[in-house]
Amino acid sequence: MKMRTALIIIAIAIFASLGFAPAALGTTKGQLSVIIDTESIRADEAQAIAHNLRAIGVSADVRIWEWSALKERIQAGERQIYLTDWGSAYFDPFDIVVPKFRTGDRGNYSGYSNPQFDAALDRALLAVDADVRRDAYFDAQQILFEDVPALFGYSLMETEAARADVLNWQPSMDSRVNLHDVGLSRGDTIVVGLYADKIVTLDPAAYRDRPTETVIRNMFDALVTRTWDGRVVPEIAEAWKAESDTEYLFRIRKGIKFHNGDSLDADDVVYTFDRVLKEGGMGGRTSPRQGLLGPVEKVEKVDAYTVRFVLSAPFPVLPQALVHIQIVPRDYMERVGDEAFSRQPIGCGPFRYVEGRLDDKIVMERFDGYYGGSPMLPPVGTARVKRAIFRMMPDPTVRVAALKTGEVHIIQAVPAHVAASLMRDRNIQVKSVEGTRVYFAEMNCTRPPFDDLRVRRAINYAVDWDTILRTIYAGNATRLSTAFLPSGFGFNPKLAPYGYDPARARSLLAEAGYLTR
Amino acid sequence: MIRFTRAQVKIIERILATIPLALGVAVVAFVFMRAMPGDPVDIMMGEAAWTSEEEMAALREEMGLDEPIHVQLWTYLKRVFAGDLGYSIIRSRPVADIIKEALPATIELAVFSLLFALAVGIPVGVASALNPNSFVDRAGASLSLLGVSLPAFWLGIVGVLIFSMTLGWLPTSGRLAYGAHPTHITGLVILDSILTGNLPALGNALKHICLPAVTLGLGVAAVVARVTRSSMLDVLSADYVQFARAKGVPEGDVTRRHALRNAMIPTVTLVGLQFGSLLGGNMIVETIFGWPGLGRVVVDSIFARDYPVVQASVMVYALTFVLINLATDIIYTILDPKISL
């Protein structure tokens, strides 16, 4: 008897599924089901996105991973939609949009490919003329916006805070803490609470992370530097000009001294770049900064105060790249060797190294023989404070507590939810700048369901970013229409992001053949 | 010829036995690190502008990461035997230097946490055992429960908010203020400042170690208090204690000389184990207080896949654990001559 009941149930089930089968083969593919993969740090955001997707009838789940593990699966093409981010150092889309979305490029995990988009990028990369480049980037932006290979998201503001007695303080978009320009109304030692756990080295050629750069740039100067909002201005270089698309001449300021009293000239500049560019250039090891210089082939000495950059291809962002290569003293370095240099570094920056430990604190003192720094960044002259200390303070609460007690004067990476209460403190000033990192959720464009443009657009209409950014990031974020940053070159401010429009999302999904709610 | 006592021979044997153990640990750490997805080049250069796959491959070759894993392991073991722990990939300096710099800070913190735990745990345990079910006992039990349950990341931050921010008694983080460094002898700044008679440095270092040591030690203090209480209760009801009392030995002497000494054996076992975890399990406290110790180095190196640093640190941890165990066993023999190694 039971057997028969079971058979009947099975029969009904088969019949029922047959009944639905024609519909599945024809216009509807049933419910769209996606898994959103993320690192734990963005888990809340992923849950919010899943919630928005469920509201339009998509079955959405969130899975959490360690980044390297997730990346391996993404690159194997096994993931559907996943939260990622990408940073830019050059204030130009070439180091975000190109690696992330050009066909087959290094960071292009989504498998997105559009020959028109690639062509637009190539035009921007090979041209030197700014207008041509801007037009090309505008085209690329438009295509990216229409193709939506990702659920485009936002960039976060970088919030920093300082004691009220710190004068002329302004956070930079490249997270540099410029201690040359700041003063103190009381005392002569300025202490910075760095958000990092450690810096990796004091050798300007041996690192790739920003905290290390933040410290190093107070002891070393480069040919050029940046204003806080990303404009390139001369520093060691007095002026430069392009001789052709692939050759640049840089004239070096005279009278610059290193901390040990040596004069800086073209030999030091050539030596610095050789060290970064050549295989095994750092005493047998290759500099991890080599890639920052793109197609720069070599740097030649023209005369004692002029050098020529020779490139294998046009590289319009060369000045931006040069901000990141700090000049080292050739004679000293050749005398003591790379390892001793990193223990007792000598630069030509506003502060000279005194002592420190990379995972504890770095102490430096004003260099009285400083040439003054960039004439475009007043005040020009020696540093205003006598001593500067960078302390490693990885815990955000402790960083804020130390600022409130006056143990430190400046802190980086203030959590968004703490910033509001800090602003009410009269002893503290809080400032935010536009970040240089893009956050989004990439979709695997090579496989169903996201190989279908309608589905990708539906997802972009389905997510209520305003609410997510307000609740999770305390409104400390800028909504982006694509992966182009407002701070970067060639950003089109007229391109409005996809709005929150569940109705439109539903109709796009239905058009693509999925059930909606 | 030098003659060794039996105990000395045993100790030497135990120390020699750590060598194969260290090698085994090195192999395990080596294999596990490489089983993790991603490699150091990938993580360091992850989104670096304009870096081609070829350049990344060249870097891997330079670091020997392109060789088959058994070849890498063999090269590594040969180096370790020669006393060379390798070169950190991310920090571009010898691993031995990194460990030499970070280990004293970790040891110092562990020792002070343990001292705090003993100074609080043993008296509370003894007092509870002497007055079972009294107010003291109940209060001790409740505090112990709190001590074990409060997570360090919370306790540490609350400590900073109260003692540094509100009261302003203690510094928020760090190990020493700038300019307070004593002459370097052992790298343990408190010991160094005592050895050099540098009182300002000593005061400064003690102020800095207070919060982290208490944060790390409170959980241990709680466990020590519970274990001391229960073993003390056992011992107090033992025949020889009753006999001592019957002989008319004053109660204070009974507690100190007869009971406490024997009751300490379980506590010593516990302390041995806990000291190992204080050394190896302080990453959170080190991060909160910006304490420049080995725990932070290891966690950071695991995330960065800095293989040589992780392998060497794991070996250091394993060795300290073994040595602490040995020390515990030696202390047993002192407390109770009936026990031999």
pLDDT in tens, A316-338: 899 999 999 999 999 999 999 99
Residues of chain A found within 8 Å of residue B90, distances taken between Cβ atoms = 200
- Write out the H or E segment, with its range, that includes residue A469: helix A465-472
Q: Distance (Å) from the C-alpha of residue A422 to the closest C-alpha of chain B? A: 13
Q: How far apart are the first and last CA of chain A?
A: 40
Note the residue count of chain A. Answer: 517
| Residue B287 C-alpha, separation from nearest chain A C-alpha, in angstroms | 6
Percent of chain B as helix, strand, coil, to the nearest 5: 75, 0, 25
Element (H, E) at A301: strand A296-303
At A125, the amino acid letter reads L
CA–CA dist B94, B102 (Å, integer): 13
Answer whether B50 sits within 8 Å of A206, measured CB to CB: no
Report CB contact under 8 Å: A395, B287.
Answer: yes
Q: How far apart are the first and last CA of chain B?
A: 24
Output the pLDDT for position A406: 92
Which of A291, A359, A363 lies closest to B102 in CB terms?
A359
Q: For chain B, say whether A373 makes contact (Cβ under 8 Å).
A: no
Angle in degrees, 0-180, between the axes of helices A465-472 and A43-55, rounded to the nearest 10: 150
Alpha helices in A318-464 (DSSP H): 318-322, 330-336, 338-343, 396-405, 416-423, 453-462
Q: How far apart are CA B312 and CA B310, in angstroms?
A: 6
Residues in chain A, pLDDT under 70: 1-28
More confident residue, B266 or A507: A507
CB contact under 8 A, A288 and B45: yes
Among candidates B102, B164, B296 on the partner chain, residue whose Cβ is nearest the Cβ of A405: B164
Contact B58 A90 (CB under 8 A): no
- Supply the pLDDT for residue A294: 85
Task: Report d(CA A28, CA A375) in Å as an integer.
Answer: 66
Q: What is the pLDDT of residue A18?
A: 46
Chain B residues whose CB is inside 8 A of the A389 CB are: 178
B173 CB neighbours in chain A (<8 A) are: 391, 393, 395, 398, 402
Nearest residue to A181 (alpha-carbon basis) of A412, A429, A383: A383
At residue A237, the 3 state secondary structure works out as: strand
- Is A395 in Cβ contact with B173 (below 8 Å)? yes
Residue in A206, A288, A359 nearest the CB of B296: A359
Look at A72 and B168 and tell me if their CB atoms are within 8 Å: no
Q: ipTM exceeding 0.85?
A: no
Q: A437: which strand partners?
A: A87
Residue of B39, B42, B92 for testing the chain A interface, max A β-carbons within 10 Å = B92
Partner A contacted by B51 (CB < 8 A): yes
Smallest Cβ–Cβ distance between A288 and the set B36, B44, B173 belongs to: B44
Matching residue, tokens 């956050």: A439
Q: Are A327 and A268 in contact (CB under 8 A)?
A: yes
Contact A358 B91 (CB under 8 A): yes
DSSP state, residue A31: B
> Hey, is the C-beta of A208 within 8 angstroms of any chain B C-beta?
yes
- Residue A334 CB coordination number (10 Å): 11
Residues of B in contact with A292 (CB under 8 A): 48-50
Placement of tokens 């770095």 in the chain: A362
Whether chain A has a CB inside 8 Å of the CB on B289: the answer is yes
Q: Please count the other Cβ atoms lying within 10 Å of the Cβ belonging to residue A448.
A: 12
Nearest chain B residue to A286 by CA distance is B59
**Contact: B174, A404; criterion CB under 8 Å:** no
In this predicted model, what pLDDT tens digit does every residue of B295-304 receive, in sequence order? 989 988 888 8
- Chosen for mutation from A102, A106, A292 (greatest number of chain B CBs closer than 10 Å) is A106
Q: What is the DSSP-derived secondary structure letter of residue A230?
A: S
Backbone angles phi and psi of A92, in degrees to 5: -150, 140
The structure tokens listed for B78 are 């040969």
Task: Please give the Cα distance from A51 to A60 (Å, whole number).
Answer: 8
pLDDT at position A378? 86
Among B55, B102, B178, the residue with its CB nearest the CB of A290 is: B55
**DSSP tag of B259:** I
| Residues A101 and A442: beta-carbon distance below 8 Å | no
How do residues B155-190 score in pLDDT, each as one tens digit? Answer: 999 999 999 988 989 998 888 888 778 888 888 888
For residues A438 and A86, is the Cβ–Cβ distance under 8 A?
A: yes
Q: How far is B80 from chain A (nearest CA, A)?
A: 21
Partnered with residue A361 across adjacent β-strands are: A357, A391
The distance from CA A64 to its chain's CA centroid, rounded to whole angstroms, is: 22
Interface of A with B in 172-191 (CB under 8 A): 189
Between positions 487 and 516 of A, the ones with CB within 8 A of B are none
pLDDT at B244 over 70: yes
Mean pLDDT across chain B: 85
In angstroms, rounded to a whole number, what is the distance separating the alpha carbons of residues A408 and A404?
8
Q: Distance (Å, rounded) from C-alpha A505 to C-alpha A489?
A: 32
Ordered alpha helix ranges (H), A148-265: 210-216
Q: Please judge whether A106 and B38 are an interchain contact, meaning their C-beta atoms are less than 8 angstroms apart.
A: no
Q: Is B51 in contact with A291 (Cβ distance < 8 A)?
A: yes
pLDDT at B200: 87
| A430 membership: H or E segment, kind and range | strand A428-434
What are the backbone dihedrals phi and psi of residue A294, each rounded to the nearest 5 degrees, phi first?
A: 50, -130
Predicted local confidence at residue A10, as pLDDT: 59
Question: Which residue of chain A comes nearest to B166, CA vs CA?
Answer: A405
What is the C-alpha separation between A377 and A225, in angstroms, rounded? 9
Measured between alpha carbons, how far is A479 from A153 in angstroms, rounded to an integer? 6
Q: Which of A66, A68, A174, A311 to mutate to test the interface with B (most CBs of B within 10 A)?
A: A68
A 391-410 residues with CB < 8 A to B: 391-395, 397-398, 401-402, 404-405, 407
What are residue A355's DSSP bridge partners? A363
> Which CA distances in Å does A412 have to A226, A290, A425, A431?
19, 28, 17, 10
What angle is formed at CA A162 by the lines to CA A157 and CA A166, rounded to 5 degrees?
135
- The model's confidence at residue B331, banded by pLDDT at 50, 70 and 90, is confident
Task: Please tell me the distance from the alpha carbon of residue B168 to that of residue B178, in angstroms, as a whole number.
Answer: 18
Whether chain A has a CB inside 8 Å of the CB on B287: the answer is yes
Residues 414-443 of A with CB under 8 A from B: none
Q: Is B226 on the interface with A (CB under 8 A)?
A: no
- Residues of A whose CB is below 8 A from B65: none
Q: Is A139 on the interface with B (CB under 8 A)?
A: no
Give the pLDDT mean for B198-203: 88
Facing residue for A286 by CB, picked from B43, B58, B289: B58
Locate tokens 């800028």: which residue? A478
pLDDT for the residue numbered A7: 57
